[in-house]
Amino acid sequence: MGTGSGAANGALPPGHPTMPAGSPVAPGTPLPSGHPTVDANKLPPSAEELMKQLDSSEGLREREKTFEIASSLGKLYYTNGRNAEALTFLGQAQAKAEGLRSLFLASKKKLGKAPIATPEAANCGFTPGQALDAMEAVAQARAKSGDTAGAAACARAALIPVLDVDVVRGNALYLGGDSANALKAYARVLEVDPRHEEALYAHSSLLFETKGEDLQALKAAREGFDALVAAYPQSQRAPMARELSARIEETVKAGGRQKWLASRAADRKVRLSQPTAQAAAMPPDAPRPLTPEMVDAVKNTERTPELEAGLTKLVEEGEEHLAHGRYQEALANYTRVVPFQPENGRAKAGMAWALVGLGRPMGARVWSVALQSDAGAVEKLGDTLLAKGDAKGAKALWEKLAQDVPNYPNKAALQAKLSQ
């Protein structure tokens, strides 16, 4: 294509050097004479720099956004441990999708037990990266024309990114101590897609953690775990889902968690490495989720030097507990710190490792969040454990880090530690 043709399709700015016709310029080729200088060493902004830019953007929360922008902002804040801000933007994204969600549920109800077709079979014509409102328009048009099956199929396909937002929102609610609304967020996903793997696991895990005396809730949790195993037998979550399903069956037969704990006190001492009677009597879902009143109290607490020093001491004590296998005591320390310092990577790493050590159902989720927000803090926790004499624990932590983050930036140094 010549330069004249290029101008016809969108002329270059006045004064821009003429671009030669033919193949694209190969990487490394010198820029044409007169071309503005390009700084090849300038890197894209880091996550921290990007967060600062967003925090300084006046009116960002109130500004009207598309679903795509709101969901991207929500996920960015969530990944960086800023759950309160994440919930704001994820809620905005969710609101943008309410019309589409309602359309799907209404269409599904009309269809009854009839299966929902694939978007290809329904000829929805969606393209990768297509905006949500454009896909919704297609589904709405099908509904207006009386094509209920097509409307359901196209709406269901368009809701895929929306379900992802609902799951992340549930995670953020859980990490903020709002288990009740986290359950509702996961349930919203399952209402649209009863086979959604992550929502099945999260919903069942949270039911098991928070409804230990509600036999109907426990049965629902077991059904969720069994559904996950049936639909995704090769999933990484399947082994834990099978184990938890069996544990729930025992709990239901015993009449609830407290009765099950009473019958398994000796075994629980061994499993949790808790030699005292007081620890054996502690329910596995402790500590309790934060109430709204507790959250407000945290927000309104003045950040004094004395408070900050106290939080630092709690983290140090938590690391001491971890190094000696006292996971429950460590978790109790970290749950006192994280509400005040949600950005504290050191505390999040310790909390995650404590939950992993306790074998909690939500341990994998909190561990994943700790890796996403500050994997370096997780590696440093291994250094701390090693320095405190827990070489076995340090190696186990580093091995799990290497396994779960195969592209870890400090991989060479991590492998060196593992080979010692």
Angle at CA 276, nearest 5°, toward 275 and 279?
105
364 in Cβ contact with 352 (< 8 Å): no
CB atoms within 10 A of CB 72: 14
* Helix, strand, coil shares, percent, the chain, to 5: 65, 0, 35
CA distances from 262 to 70, 245, 399 (A): 48, 20, 35
CA distances from 378 to 55, 274, 408 (A): 26, 24, 11
- Domain 292-419 architecture: Alpha Horseshoe (1.25)
101 in Cβ contact with 159 (< 8 Å): yes
pLDDT (tens digit per residue) in 28-54: 556 555 555 655 566 666 667 777 778
Residue 333: per-residue pLDDT: 85
CA atoms within 13 A on the CB side of 374: 19
Q: Report how far residue 385's alpha carbon sits from residue 417's, in angstroms, rounded to the nearest whole number.
A: 13
Residue 277: per-residue pLDDT: 42
Q: How far apart are the first and last CA of the chain?
A: 60
93 in Cβ contact with 120 (< 8 Å): no
Cis amide bond preceding 287, omega within 30: yes
- Look at the block and give the residue holding tokens 């007081």: 278
Local structure of 267: helix, strand or coil: helix
Residue 201: per-residue pLDDT: 93
Query: Could you tell me which residues come within 8 angstroms of residue 241 by beta carbon, excluding any fewer than 6 positions away?
Result: 201, 204, 225, 226, 228, 229, 235
Residue 301: per-residue pLDDT: 56
**pTM (two decimals):** 0.58
pLDDT (tens digit per residue) in 276-321: 444 444 444 444 454 554 455 555 555 577 778 888 888 999 999 9
245 in Cβ contact with 222 (< 8 Å): yes
Query: Could you tell me which residues come within 8 angstroms of residue 281 by beta carbon, excluding any fewer than 6 positions away?
Result: 261, 265
- Stretch (H or E) spanning 55: helix 47-55
Query: Could you tell me which residues come within 8 angstroms of residue 53 by beta carbon, excluding any fewer than 6 positions away?
Result: 45
Residue 280: per-residue pLDDT: 44
225 in Cβ contact with 243 (< 8 Å): no
Sites in the chain below the pLDDT cut of 50: 1-10, 19-23, 25, 266, 268-288, 290, 293-294
Local structure of 392: helix, strand or coil: helix
pLDDT (tens digit per residue) in 146-175: 999 999 999 999 999 999 999 999 999 988
Residue 21: per-residue pLDDT: 47
CA distances from 238 to 204, 217, 250, 268 (A): 13, 20, 19, 23
Domain boundaries defined on the chain = 98-158, 194-263, 292-419
150 in Cβ contact with 159 (< 8 Å): no
